[in-house]
Structure 1
Amino acid sequence: MVSPVVIRRASRWQDSVRLLLLIDAAARPISETETETEAAPPTSVGVVHTQVRLQKLDFWVRYPDYLAFELMNEYEKAPDEPELLNLAAGILNSDEPDLRRFPMLRYKFGAFQELDDSLAPLVERGLLSKTQVLGQKRVVEHIYYLLERGREVVDAMIADAPALEWYVERTRLVVDLVDGLGGTQLKDRQYLLRDYADTPVGEHISSITDQARVRLGELQSSHVASAARTVPEAS
């Protein structure tokens, strides 16, 4: 008899903390238009637009192997920035791809997990405010406002719980990697990986750690060979 596959799940508290740190990292300043139209609460210190964008950023936090693959993509575009390759190596040469992975379902718009349960405690405690832009038949956009209290709690958590430092660094890395890209652009970018795109709807997206490590070895070998070619011969 084949044992069922056990899916590792985060607790509600873990999801809430991770999303608060991610929203803090991704939030941009409130625009004058948002202030003038009173869409933003008075104590807002930042905003993240669209649920799709938040979901796609969260995917790279929850799947370190996919993030490493994306870092290698960026390195191939800019081979004069070996730090990107070093970051990927730091992820793949550790046990992070197993210990830090919390699987997500593949939905019709890509990686998905219902956010309401995880965001509810943040809203209830005055750390976050969320609103929706309604179209004629459906919600057009979800908007998440980080409140002053939310940023204060983030700062306090970082000071009081050093174990959260990984999430702080990782959420910032993910946001910096795709700075300026919207949710649809991130979705399209993640669909470029066949393992992701071929996951049946309703099933959990699987790990790509092994193939990412193979690719890392190839890129590292290529980098070493390229560096050797640029070293001038001794006279």
Structure 2
Amino acid sequence: MFIVDRVGDAVSGGEQVDGAVRVLRSETKLQKLDFWIRYSDYLAFELLTEAEAGRLDREWAVAEAALLVETEVPDLRRYPMARYLRGAYERKDNALALLKYHGHLATHRQAASVLHPNARRDFYLLAKGECAVQTLRAEIPAVRWYDEQATRVASFAARLSGGQCKDRQYNNSVYRATPQGATIPSIRPQVQEWLERLRLATPA
């Protein structure tokens, strides 16, 4: 829900799902965003990439990246993902079924057409889900971390397609070299070294 709320688009007229307030288009993008939320070190890598390219405020991005890799992540938030043919992937049917049951989220499969030859699964945050997100954000500190992660991801990924997110993840050599079916390893030491280089290069 936090992913769709922070990264999804506002729903306009003509959408397929009644009561929807935001939509995230494509399961590929959902999978890639979920990976960045779970892997703080890869998220930090992307923030530093954006900062060096001048697409994010450098001071903010460096501070956020440092927070992500220099703070120990509780075991509660460690959800490793395996690499498959199209990158990081995990079946989300059980989680989606629960959210659908409570009226928080809905999905809609866009059929293939001449203009769009591949079928696409879209994810809609419903009004009840939006209320749930606001309640979780305000009243349950333990889950605010996920909301903060989704906000960081949105800073650069909101404008990207699912395919572009996938390409960015494959640009990382450690991610790309992970054998299919194997758990994607951490890159925390590499990101920490990058942070130190940036700090040394930045005037006090």
> Do they superpose with TM above 0.5?
yes
Q: Which residue of 1 aligns with 2:196?
A: 217
The answer (yes or no) to whether the contact 2:7–2:157 under 8 Å persists in 1 is: no
Whole-angstrom distance in 2 between the partners of 1:187 and 1:201? 15
107-116 or 24-33, which deviates more:
24-33
Q: CA deviation at 1:97?
A: 8.3
| Residues 80 and 57 of structure 1: CA distance in aligned 2, closer, same or farther (over 3 Å) | closer
Provide the residue aligned with 1:121 in structure 2: 98
| Structure 1 ranges of 4+ moved more than 3 A | 97-101
Distance of 1:98 and 1:216 partners within structure 2: 24
| SS in structure 1 of the partner of residue 108 of structure 2 | strand
Is the Cα–Cα contact under 8 Å of residues 63 and 100 in structure 1 kept in the other structure?
Answer: no
1:50 aligns with 2:26: yes
Alpha-carbon contact 2:33-2:153 (below 8 Å) kept: yes
Shift, 1:100, TM fit: 3.2
- Residue 182 (structure 2) aligns with: 203
Code of the residue aligned with 1:212 in structure 2: it is V
Give the letter aligned to residue 125 of structure 2: L
Deviations 1:146-204 (A, max 9, x none): 11110111112222212212111111111122221110000001100011011111111
For residues 207 and 134 of structure 1, what CA distance do their matches in structure 2 show?
37
Paired residue for 1:16? Answer: none
User: When the two structures are aligned, how many residues end up with a matched partner?
Assistant: 200
Query: Which runs of 5 or more structure 2 residues have no equivalent in the other structure?
Result: none
Per the TM alignment, residue 80 of structure 1 is displaced from its structure 2 partner at its CA by: 6.3
CA distance in structure 2 between the partners assigned to 1:143 and 1:101 by the alignment: 26
- 1:112 shift after superposition: 0.4
Task: Answer whether contact 2:104 2:126 (CA < 8 A) is retained.
Answer: yes
Runs of 5+ unmatched residues, structure 1 = 1-19, 229-235
Distance in 2 between the 1:21 and 1:101 partners?
17
Equivalent residue, structure 2, for 1:160? 139
Residue equivalent to 1:11: none
Tell me, what secondary structure is at the counterpart of 1:47?
strand
Moved more, 157-166 or 122-131: 157-166
TM-aligned CA distance change 1:57 to 1:210, over 3 Å = same
Amino acid at match of 1:23: V
Percent of residue pairs identical: 37
Correspondence 1:90 to 2:71: no
Q: CA RMSD in A?
A: 2.0
| Residue 231 of structure 1: aligned partner | none
Give the drift of 1:102: 1.5
Q: Distance in 1 between matches of 2:45 and 2:138?
A: 31
State the partner residue of 2:86: 109
Query: Match of 1:86, SS?
Result: helix
2:9 to 20, 25, 28: 28
SS of 1:83 mapped into structure 2: helix
Alignment partners' CA distance in 1, 2:103 and 2:92: 17
Distance 1:181 1:203 in 2: 26
Question: Paired residue for 2:161?
Answer: 182
Q: Which residue of 2 aligns with 1:70?
A: 46
| Separation in structure 2 between the aligned mates of residue 216 and residue 123 of structure 1, nearest angstrom | 41
| Secondary structure at the counterpart of residue 9 of structure 2 | coil
Which structure exhibits the higher relative contact order, with contacts defined as CA atoms closer than 8 Å and separated by 6 or more residues?
A: 2
TM-score by length of 2: 0.90
Q: TM-score, length-normalised on structure 1?
A: 0.79
Give the greater-gyration-radius structure (CA): 1
